[in-house]
Amino acid sequence: MKSQKTFLLMLAVCTGMVAGTAKAGAWGQKGHDVTCSIAERHLTKKAAKEIDRILDGKSIVYWANWMDNASHTSEFAYTKTWHYKDIDPDETYETAELCESGDVVTAINAQVAALKSGELNKDAEALALKMLVHLVGDVHCPMHAARKYDKGGNTWQVQFFDKGKNLHAIWDTDIVEAAHKWTYTEWADQIDIAGRAGIRLISQGTPDDWCKETHEIAEAVYEKTPVGSKLSYDYVTESTPVVEQQLLRGGIRLAAILNEIFD
Ligand code: ADE
Ligand code: ZN
């Protein structure tokens, strides 16, 4: 009975049902699955084979959202702050104080370096890979490169189709779910259409550049969405291209990173 209660409490925490819980999740399951599904389509043969070996035949999509659940367990509590990097309006990307326990950019760079080192055993390789495929999704999620003082939009209250929500939650999940009623493969089919030149362009840059780019999107979101905004169909329609763009960028850039590591 006790363990069932503990499980239900954990579930409530993981799904953000506990009042006042700041969610560090990003994209929600669907967005992370789409990111990994797009990345998988752009892996070289060699990279795909290496990943297959490390993950015992499971797809990166299988592990896309694992880290959001793991970060709520005591074993992986040290990764709680790895999902985001916030910058307040009186700071710049360069002057913002680094979070001591790590942020999404330092965490991505650390997993890439570890995987490239050739010094990891298979379990450690699998762990670094599971984290990396999630974190590249996170760094493209607007409210994960947002502002510090409102905990990445977690305390920025709005109304979304007559329900009280916060800006963080609607950009992680609600807009994605309202934009298209598609499976992750349908999402990937529809938005993975950049072509060779587009892919080359998107693949450029570093995690720092991508986080700065996401922060600019977050600032535009804040501008467009004052506290107390009543959001519905118009907001979903205007936000959908942004979500599609960020999911595509995340997928293409994840593939570029994985190809560089494993091929
Ligand atoms: N806590 C503080 N900033 C956050 C963010 N951007 N996302 C999730 N949780 C946070
Ligand atoms: Zn996350």
Q: What secondary structure letter does DSSP report for 155?
A: T
Indicate if ligand 1 lies below 6 Å from the C-beta of 68.
no
Q: Assess contact for 145 and 84: CB atoms under 8 A.
A: yes
Q: Assess contact for 112 and 103: CB atoms under 8 A.
A: no
Centroid of ligand 2 to alpha carbon of 192 (angstroms): 22
* Predicted model pTM: 0.91
Find how far residue 172's CA is from the centre of its chain: 8
Angle at which helices 233-262 and 104-117 pack, to 10 degrees? 20
User: Rounded to an integer, what distance in angstroms lies between the CA atom of residue 124 and that of residue 134?
Assistant: 16
Q: Residue ranges of the domains in the chain?
A: 2-83+98-262
Q: Whose CA is nearest to atom 10 of ligand 1?
A: 151
Residue 24: what pLDDT?
63
Indicate if ligand 1 lies below 6 Å from the C-beta of 184.
no
Pairing relationship of beta strands 163-166 and 157-160 according to DSSP bridges: antiparallel
Strand order in the sheet with 157-160: 163-166, 157-160, 230-231
Residue 11: what pLDDT?
35
Indicate if ligand 1 lies below 6 Å from the C-beta of 24.
yes
Domain 2-83+98-262: assigned CATH number? 1.10.575.10
Q: Which helix or strand (DSSP H or E) is residue 165 part of? A: strand 163-166
Q: Which helix or strand (DSSP H or E) is residue 178 part of? A: helix 175-179
Residue 257: what pLDDT?
98
User: Rounded to an integer, what distance in angstroms lies between the CA atom of residue 95 and that of residue 60?
Assistant: 35
From the CA of 64, the nearest ligand is 2
Q: Whose CA is nearest to atom 5 of ligand 1?
A: 152
Residue 22: what pLDDT?
61
Query: Would you give per-residue pLDDT tens digits along the chain (263 residues)?
Result: 344 444 334 433 333 333 334 666 678 999 999 999 999 999 999 999 999 999 999 999 999 999 999 999 999 999 999 999 999 999 999 999 999 999 999 999 999 999 999 999 999 999 999 999 999 999 999 999 999 999 999 999 999 999 999 999 999 999 999 999 999 999 999 999 999 999 999 999 999 999 999 999 999 999 999 999 999 999 999 999 999 999 999 999 999 999 999 99
Q: Whose CA is nearest to atom 3 of ligand 1?
A: 151
The two structure tokens encoding residue 104: 């999404």
User: Rounded to an integer, what distance in angstroms lies between the CA atom of residue 187 and that of residue 244?
Assistant: 9
